[in-house]
Every structure is written in C-alpha cells, then in structure tokens.
Amino acid sequence: MRLCALKIAGRNAAAAVRPGWRREFVLRDARIWFEKHAKYISHLDLNRFMLRAVRRAKLPLWVTEGFNPHPYINFALPLSLGFESENDCFDVRITEDMPDEELCERLRAVMPPEIPVTGISAPVYAFKKIEYAAFSLFFESEGSIDELGGFLTGDTIPVRKMGKKARKQHSEGELIDLMEYAKRLDFTAQGESAGRADVILPAGSRQNINPQLLVTAAEQTLGGGLFCKRILRSALLLNDLSAFC
C-alpha cells in the first residue's frame, strides 16, 4: 500500500504518506455465547450458519491464510441432532479493538430468535478442559409418571453404548451401568403424566456419554407409552463440576 501511494503521489509522495496512516492491528480471542433451540439443525449446518452470520454482522475477524481464506471459528462441543442448548459457545479472533457490547449488538441484529446471542467474554479455559455436561430431559407418559421416577432413582441403569467399532461390526455394543458415569441424576414429577430428569454426564474429548442412552433405556424398560419430548443441554462443566467459561 505504501509503494502504491508513492507511485500515485509522485513528487508529492512525502505529503501523501503521513504518519499514522497505517491502521493498528489488534488480535484477541473472543468467546461468543448463544442458545440453540433450532434442534433439527446439525452441527455442520450450524457451523455454516455462524460463518454467514459473522460475515453479515461485519465483524472484524481474523481469517486463515492460504488459498481459501475463511474466518477462524472454533466450537466448544458439538451438539447431537435433535438436542437444544441454552449455554453454548464458539471462539473467534478479533482484529480490531472493538468493545464486546458492539460485537454483541452486531451479531444480535442478524441472528434468528431460535439462536439468540447471550453474551461475549474473553476465554478463560481451553475447550479441552470440558469434562462434563448438564442435561435436562423432559418426559411425557400415557400412564403414570411414577414408574419413570422409580426407574431413574434405582441403583443401576443398564444401557448399551454403541461406539464406531460396534456400528461397523453390527454388534450390540457395550453394556454399561449409567449410574457409574452419572455425577448427578435427579427426577421431578411435573403432574401425573409428565416429568423432568436432570443429569450430569461425561462430555468432551476423553469420554462422552450421550443422554439419548438414558432415554432409550427408559422407553425400552417402561414400554411404548413413554417418550422424551425434549433434551436440553444446560451447562458445560469442568472436572470439578464448576462452570466452563
């Protein structure tokens, strides 16, 4: 840019290029928090959606260097299809000293009501520090919900965990006791035919237990009159069960 200015200005180059013409480059990480209630959007579609959203919001983002430059976006923990989340996040890199309030306002202006932005903060922990996640499961039953309460408060909950190897070999998977992995499992009846289960399960890069295993075990044990109408991930947690931030 300086060379172009010298060529255009010619003899008056000294007057054309003045001190302070270069914009200061600031690179910092920002963690954007949002909710996801559009439960039938896959993680790949959510990634594409967020790329479009940050472009429409005209955020000053750092882009990758190469033949296909694109904004740097890194999500905390992928969410299974059909699940909702009220405390999700992804990281971006900002190239200007823009206040978080302005970044948040720009994003909120282009986001749909099903995926609202709730805030922006500086990252404290790396995503690899996530060890657990808190889920809320909302059930409905054609009969009494008390049977579900008895099942969830039992000493053992046997479930079959299907890994990639088991799916490839078409095997039944590994039989595990969910109570050995759950850090907390509470059940609250919401009337005669509805109830809510709150559970904390391993989540992250080292170990992951899908709450759908609990839903499947309950439906198979108690019969077809029971179904789960909603699965909500409410929090991401560290190893000591404190909030990830």
pLDDT of residue 143: 82
63: which DSSP letter?
B
pTM of the model: 0.84
Same CATH fold, 129-237 and 28-124? yes
- The CA distance from 137 to 232, in Å, is 6
pLDDT of residue 5: 40
What stretches in the chain show pLDDT beneath 70?
1-25, 163-172
pLDDT digits (tens, 9 = 90+) for 184-223: 999 999 988 999 999 999 998 889 999 999 999 999 888 7
**Which residues make Cβ contacts (< 8 Å) with residue 190, sequence separation at least 6?**
145, 196
**Which residues make Cβ contacts (< 8 Å) with residue 236, sequence separation at least 6?**
76, 77, 87, 88, 89, 130, 132, 133, 203, 243, 244
pLDDT of residue 171: 63
CATH number of 129-237: 3.30.70
Rg for the chain (alpha carbons), in Å? 24
Domain boundaries, given as residue ranges, for the chain: 28-124, 129-237
pLDDT of residue 144: 83
- The CA distance from 73 to 213, in Å, is 30
pLDDT of residue 163: 66
Domain 28-124 is of which CATH architecture? 2-Layer Sandwich (3.30)
pLDDT digits (tens, 9 = 90+) for 83-113: 999 999 999 999 998 999 999 999 999 999 9
**Six token digits for residue 70:** 């694109």
